[in-house]
Amino acid sequence: MFIKSVKMYKVDLPLNKPFETSFAAMKYKKCVILELKDRDGTLGYGESSALEIPFYNEEFREGSWKLLEKQMIPKIMNVQINHPDDIYKIFAYIRMNNMSKSAINCALWDIYAKQNNKTLAEALGGNKVKVETGVSIGIQESPEALVKAVSGYIADGYRRIKMKIKPGKDYEYIAAVRKQFPNAMLMADANSAYRLKDIELLKKLDDLNLIMIEQPLEPGDLIDHATLQAQLKTSICLDESIVSLDDAEKMLKLKSGRIINIKVARVGGLGMAKKIQKFAIENGIECWCGGMLDSGIARAANVAIATLPGYTLPNDIAASHRYYDVDIIKPEIELDGTFVNVSKENGLGYQPDFENLARFTVAEKEIH
């Protein structure tokens, strides 16, 4: 690959309703979309999922935009790139900032797959023709409201329901859902809202037969997660804590959890997600693919990575209309029951909807 030009789009994609986590209530998915153009004319697309404010990790959109524009894109222009994962050596001097790295890595994988006449799933080594999805529900106003929301998704056929929690909106909320649905596959996602001082409350969640509690403690604290996991029956799933293969190895050694939510954006792209998944499957760690309220660009990459055999649990890959009235790809991602069918088209399998992309773009830049 030999990148001759790059287009950057700063996009504000409105959510069809606010999504509340323990750290924020979001009304828009604010992201950066990249279009890389190879010298043979092949186009590849990637997305930086950095949020407007660095709630989730150290990255934020304005910083990602500038880092891509001033540092990262110039490093890949007009040089030979043999494989998408060459970027990990090229950008070894840049600490963290995995979401910016992911945008470039995913766009290069898109080009690479197209140039090899393969779907992105095939290029990555996937073996599934469809991937199962679960649903993620933001924090609700009351236990009754949460039960109502869950009821709708259970009726739609979803097997795995993930519910966001935070102190004061946790045990009673999930207990109400468990009472209504005694056999449902339920999990709680804390987004690092708790500390070890909350251990007695977290131990109460053991009574609710959850398949996992996701990221209860601070992102970088594998030691406290190990202390907590030793006292919980429920499996801990790590999200923000796993940003590299090294983190996954430490998680196993310390027994900090039993499950990994692999987010392509968080770990730096498809190549690193594939390495972490390989390590997990070799060591008996279950995995699933998480998301960042992604636009269709990143969502399509998530579908492809979830076709790998190590993704053993339902994924956070919803239909476009789950979060958006309109998306920026065509066709939009749709559900077949509670599954997403894997595209048979080369590359990402979806094309940008340039009309919608222009509609929601608040800034753009072209680099040659």
Give the whole-angstrom CA distance, residue 361 versus residue 11.
Answer: 4
The answer to whether 342 and 130 have CB atoms below 8 angstroms apart is: yes
Strands (E), the chain: 3-20, 25-38, 43-48, 130-132, 135-137, 160-164, 185-189, 212-214, 236-238, 259-262, 286-289, 329-330, 339-341, 351-352, 361-367
Please list the active-site residues.
164, 263
∠ CA 137-206-160, nearest 5°, is 35
Give the whole-angstrom CA distance, residue 202 versus residue 209.
Answer: 13
Give the whole-angstrom CA distance, residue 132 versus residue 65.
Answer: 33
* Amino acid at residue number 319: A
Give the whole-angstrom CA distance, residue 47 versus residue 66.
Answer: 14
Give the whole-angstrom CA distance, residue 198 versus residue 71.
Answer: 42
Q: Count each helix (H run) and each strand (E run) in the chain, helices first.
A: 15, 15
Give the whole-angstrom CA distance, residue 58 versus residue 322.
Answer: 27
